[in-house]
Amino acid sequence: MLFLVRHAESVENATKYTGFYENPRPWTGPAAHALSRDVVGLTPRGFLQCLWLRQTLQNLTGRDPAIRTSQYRRALDTAALALPGLPYQVTALLNEQHYGAATYMTKQELYATYPEGTEDRQARKHLWTPPGVGGESLADGVLQRATAFVDQLPPVSAADVVAFTHHTAILALRAVLERRPVTELVDEARTRKTPNAVVLVYEQNDGLFHARDTIHPDC
């Protein structure tokens, strides 16, 4: 079994339009990305969601699951609180999409600063490559990482795998696991974004993964 978990609610999630996104942005692109990766932690609601995850995952997984988490603090904190005392492996393959110089830019500032990318960002979001060092598109960079993560999962495992990751990374992982076009998942996400602390359940059978359940937090 494979369990994909979006990290619990972060300070960035809760204060998106009142905290981190200002116009003009007060930080450089690299500094903004470092804040997103290393500093942003969980809200009080996020901690409650971790307690819910602790009970939920204990009921779902087999003994001593293999735990994987992205390099971002909000995913690391979720893993440590949801499955306390268990070892976990940190992997960049589960990182959120790297927004490069556009990290924490409002759309207004982004379009004014990098007008050449406006059409892709508005109409072909999956193809949009954020400007600056490290910027990666969903359909290329993130999807490649998701494919590499799924490919390195053992074909037959004695242990379940729990992966703590992020909204955009989950879209890419779902495209690989469910064998669906990433554009279809992006369109769905416009209506309903992947909730914080949601658990997506997959079962491996004959070398393929099949979606079995989606479990939403009650807090």
Model pLDDT for residues 157-195, shown as the tens digit of each residue: 678 999 999 999 999 999 999 999 999 999 999 999 999
DSSP-assigned letter for residue 10: B
What's the rounded mean pLDDT across residues 194-215?
Answer: 95
Lookup: tokens for 133: 């060092």
The pTM of this model reads 0.96
CA atoms within 13 A on the CB side of 86: 24
- Helical spans, DSSP H, in 61-210: 73-82, 107-113, 118-123, 143-151, 167-177, 182-191
CA atoms within 13 A on the CB side of 183: 3
- Give the Cβ contact number of residue 158 at 10 Å: 9
Model pLDDT for residues 34-72, shown as the tens digit of each residue: 999 999 999 999 999 999 999 999 999 988 899 999 999
pLDDT value at 129 more than 90: yes
